[in-house]
Amino acid sequence: MDLTTSIIGAIIVALCITPLVMAHNKRKKRERKLLQSLVDNAASHSGRITNHDIWANTAIGIDAADNRLYFLRRKEAEEDVHQQVSLNDIRSVRINGGQNSGHTERIDIVLEHVNVPPVILEFYNEKQSLQINQELHLARKWHAIIDSQLKLVM
């Protein structure tokens, strides 16, 4: 009786853990592909990612030596959206959205240029994701990283 109960318990535990392990592995594989795409994009501009973050279907990285920011957003039915920004041309950076405690539709980092329209890096859009996870925290983190990089340039 004890051996049978132990075997059944082990099988139930294995059945419960297997989907979690598979989901974790799938997420890690997707993150590796996003990071590789970001690194490849930086390499195509003779850059090297020195700091990065990955969330949902988005990746951001910076080449601190070359003062360039790389951003990748993967959309299911569309091609990847790659953005590469020279921070030498940026006047200021700000976060758009997410400041109030109410309903948040979007969270963006806005990079203001001197003479051209701003570059908008979309961290969260409620039309593509129903729930805010870590996007606001990451937007604040990257705002600080970009701001400190801009201060080094000025």
User: pLDDT tens, 38-50?
Assistant: 999 999 999 999 9
Q: Which helix (H) or strand (E) holds 43?
A: helix 2-44
CA pair distance 81, 33, nearest whole angstrom: 14
Is domain 2-153 annotated with CATH 2.30.29? yes
The first and second tokens of residue 51, run together, are 């700091």
**pTM for this predicted structure:** 0.84
* Terminal C-alpha separation, the chain: 75
pLDDT tens digit sequence for 100-151: 666 788 899 999 988 889 999 999 988 887 788 889 999 999 999 999 998 8
In degrees and rounded to multiples of 5, residue 49 shows phi and psi of -70, 125
DSSP one-letter code for 94: E
The domain spans of the chain are 2-153
User: How far apart are alpha carbons 41 and 61 in whole angstroms?
Assistant: 10
Residue 103 confidence (pLDDT): 74
What 3-state DSSP class applies to 2?
Answer: helix
pLDDT tens digits, 69-85: 999 998 776 788 899 99
Answer for the pair 108, 120: CB distance below 8 angstroms, yes or no.
yes
